[in-house]
Structure 1
Amino acid sequence: MSPLNALNWRYAVKQFANTTLHPQQLEPLLEAIRLSPGAFGLQPYRLLLISNPELRSNLLLHSMGQNKVTKASHLLVFAAVQQIDEAFVADHIECMTQQRGGTAEEYQGLEAHLNGYFRNMSDQEKVRWADQQVFLALGNCLTSAALLGIDSCPMTGFNPEGYDQVLGLAEQGLRSVATCALGERHAEDAAADLPKVRLPAQVLTRVLV
C-alpha cells in the first residue's frame, strides 16, 4: 500500500481475529522498528514480543481490562532503559565502531558531547527523554505495520508497575512505557468501518511564508 492508503486503512483495532502472525510477517516489522529515528541514533529502549498465553493472561490483570492483550496474535511491549549514564553512552560508541568502523578514539568528541548532554539532565528529564524516544519508535511501528498490512492497537492504558513485575523488567534495568497489540482485525469489529475523525488540514497545518 502507498503511505496514504495504509494510513487510511489502519485504525486502533478493538477486536482481533483468532489468527496468528507468521514470523515472516513480523520480521520486517521488527526490523522497521529497529531502524526508527531517534536522538543521536540512541535507542534507550528494548522490545518484548510476547505470544505466550499464560504470560499475557498475567499482563491482562494490569491492562485495565483491555482483552486485546490476550486476543491479539502478539503483544509488543516497549520498555525504556533505566540507566542513562556513561556506560549507556559507551555501549553506543562501541556499537558505532563495530558498524561504521574506526576506533573508539575517533569518537571521543561525540562521546564527551553525549556524556555532557546527559550530565546536565535531572533523572526526571532523562525519563522524559527516554519516553520520547519510545514514542518515536511506537509511531514508526504503527505506520510500518500498516504498510505491511498488519493490524495494530497502541496502548498506554496499563499499570507499568504491574507489567514490570510480571516481566521482571526491573532486574533487566528496564521499565514498561507503551504496548502495541498486533494481529488481524476481526471481521465483526465495527470500528473498522467508522470514518476517521481528524482535524481538517487547513486547521491542523498552518503554513508560514
Structure 2
Amino acid sequence: MDLSESLQHRYTAKAYDTGRRLPDDIVAQLKAALRFSPSSVNAQPWHFILADDEAGKARVARGAAGAFAYNAPKILNASHVVVLCARTSLPADYLQAVLDQEQADGRFAGEEAREGQRKTRGGYVTLHEEAGDLPVWTQKQAYIALGFLLLAAGALGVDATPMEGFDAEALDAAFGLSAKGLAPAVIVSLGYHAETDFNAKLPKSRLTDDVLFSRA
C-alpha cells in the first residue's frame, strides 16, 4: 500500500472489535511514530500515556463521562489507547534533560554547538513564556505528534479514533496530570474496527483540490 492508498484507507473508527488486539511489533512502531515526531526546536514538550489493558482503559474512560459518555465504548473496546499530553511549562531541568539526551545521541560537534542549541531553544521558550501562550505552543506540538500517529496507524492497517470529547478535569484527576505539569490534549483509540462500525463502509469526503489549493 503506497502513501496515497494509506491516506484513502485511513478513517475515524466508530466501533472496535474487542476480540482483536494489536501485535507487539505494531505497537512498537506506533510508539516510534510518537517518539520520533518533530517539534519546534526539538523541545519535545509532550508526554504519552498508553493504556493496554482493561484497568488502564477504564482509567482513561473516566474522562468519558456525562456529556462525553458516547466516547467511552471507543476507549474501553479498543485494543490500545493513548492520551497525548502537552507540557504546561518547560522548566530548566526539563530543558537540561533534552540537551543532555541530544549530547548523548551525538548531536553536537563541540561545546559551541551545544551552547548554541541551548540558547536557541531557551530563547523560544522565553518568547512564549513572556507572550503568555506557552501551553498553546506546546499543545500545537502535541498535535504534530497526533498527525504522525494517525498516519502511521493508517500505513500499518490500524484503525484509530482521535477524540477531543472528554472531561479534562476528570482525566486530570485520574492521572494527576496538572501536578506533573501536563494537560491532556487528545485521546486516541487504536485497534481494529468492528463489523458494526458504520463509518468503515462510508466513502471519504474531502473538499476538492481547486478549493483547497492555490498557487503562490
Is residue 2:75 matched to residue 1:74?
Answer: no
Match in the other structure for 1:12: 12
Contact 2:41–2:120, Cα closer than 8 Å, also in 1: no
Match of 1:146 among 154, 157, 163: 154
Question: By how many angstroms is 1:103 displaced?
Answer: 5.3
Q: Which deviates more from structure 2 when the two are superposed, residues 135-144 or residues 58-67?
A: 58-67
Q: Which deviates more from structure 2 when the two are superposed, residues 34-43 or residues 150-159?
A: 34-43
Matches for 1:1-209 after TM superposition, within 5 Å: 1-18=1-18, 19-63=20-64, 64-65=68-69, 66=71, 67-100=73-106, 102=109, 106-122=113-129, 124-208=132-216
Q: Which deviates more from structure 2 when the two are superposed, residues 13-22 or residues 81-90?
A: 81-90
Contact 1:93–1:104, Cα closer than 8 Å, also in 2: no
Contact 1:156–1:178, Cα closer than 8 Å, also in 2: yes
Runs ≥4 residues deviating over 4 A: 101-105
Give the SS at the match of 2:89: coil
Alignment partners' CA distance in 1, 2:173 and 2:110: 40
String of CA shifts for 1:24-48, please: whole Å, max 9, x gaps.
1110111122111211122100111
Superposition TM-score, scaled by structure 1 size: 0.92
Give the SS at the match of 1:176: strand
Question: By how many angstroms is 1:10 displaced?
Answer: 1.1
Alignment partners' CA distance in 1, 2:23 and 2:80: 10
Give the SS at the match of 2:185: strand
Question: By how many angstroms is 1:115 displaced?
Answer: 1.6
String of CA shifts for 1:140-164, please: whole Å, max 9, x gaps.
1000110011110111111112111
Contact 1:97–1:104, Cα closer than 8 Å, also in 2: no
Alignment partners' CA distance in 2, 1:104 and 1:35: 25
Contact 2:62–2:174, Cα closer than 8 Å, also in 1: no
Give the SS at the match of 1:146: helix
Amino acid at match of 2:202: L
Contact 2:128–2:137, Cα closer than 8 Å, also in 1: no
Question: By how many angstroms is 1:169 displaced?
Answer: 2.1
Unaligned runs of 5+ in 2: none
Give the aligned CA root-mean-square deviation in angstroms. Answer: 1.7
Give the SS at the match of 1:4: helix
Alignment partners' CA distance in 1, 2:60 and 2:187: 11
Q: Which deviates more from structure 2 when the two are superposed, residues 1-10 or residues 121-130?
A: 121-130
Alignment partners' CA distance in 2, 1:96 and 1:197: 42
Q: Which deviates more from structure 2 when the two are superposed, residues 83-92 or residues 190-199?
A: 83-92
Amino acid at match of 1:165: A
The percentage of counterpart residues that share the same residue type is: 26
How many residues of Structure 1 are paired with residues of Structure 2 in the alignment? 208
